[in-house]
Chain A
Amino acid sequence: MVGIVICAHGNLAHELLHTLKFITGGEGSVTAIALDHNIDIARAREDVKEAVLAADEGNKVLIATDLYGGAPSNICMSLQDELPIEIIAGVNLPILIKAVSLQTTCDLETMAAKLKEYGRENIHLASDFLKRKNDESGNNH
């Protein structure tokens, strides 16, 4: 199983994990780390290392960060050469839900590539749905 660690600003990682567990009924092996911009970087690197090593069952670990270029993402990226990880930045709930489904069936590299596309594909404008529905029914109001 590929491990999953959510790493984000403030309470976001834990809130994402909380919501994820509600939706999945607790399925999956996922942990969360909160990192703030004012956190001690050496300490934060150790926290991330500890979380990754705890999550790694031998099939590597996906770290989902909130913001590419933000402190959590940068700290994780600084560990790329030391740890068996891939980082996906710009996490959303579709990515996390899909990650839980894939973590038992995919290797890390395949999983990360699929999740990058999945996260993008599942951003929608509600008005697009309405337009499509109107177009299909021949109503163009």
Chain B
Amino acid sequence: MTKAVITIRNPLGIHARVAFQMAETGRKFKSDILVSNDMGKSDGKDIMAILALCAGPGTVLNVEASGEDEEAAVEEIIKLLKSVNGP
């Protein structure tokens, strides 16, 4: 399993468009992907499950993947979230 942690700094948090991008990014990989915070743990390939985390600004988000391409999956999702966070 590969894991990473990121703090969401975007003022709108993980909003619908970001959640869609996360889910679509996740769907490109074969590995199972989970994202979690203090609201719970969600399927990282399902936009509504990601939104259900209500990940506002300041949220510490855990991203983990299990499978043959787990490292690339986590890397891509973290890269996306960093770009959403901004410089």
Contact = CB atoms under 8 A, between A and B. Distances in A.
A23 interface: yes
Given A94-B48, A122-B48, A129-B54, A25 B21 contact: yes
Interface string A52-64: 0000000000000
A22 B17 contact: yes
Interface residues of B, number: 14
B5 interface: no
Contacts of B54: 129
Q: Chain B interface mostly helix, strand, loop or mixed?
A: helix
B58 to A, nearest CB: 16
Contacts of A27: 24
Interface size class of A (residues with CB under 8 A): 10 to 19
Contacts of B29: none
Given A97-B47, A122-B48, A129-B54, A23 B39 contact: no
Given A25-B17, A129-B39, A101 B24 contact: yes
In the A-B complex, the 6 residue pairs with the smallest Cβ-Cβ separation, listed nearest first, are: A122-B48, A23-B16, A23-B17, A94-B48, A23-B20, A24-B20
Interface of B: 16-17, 20-21, 23-24, 27, 38-40, 47-48, 52, 54
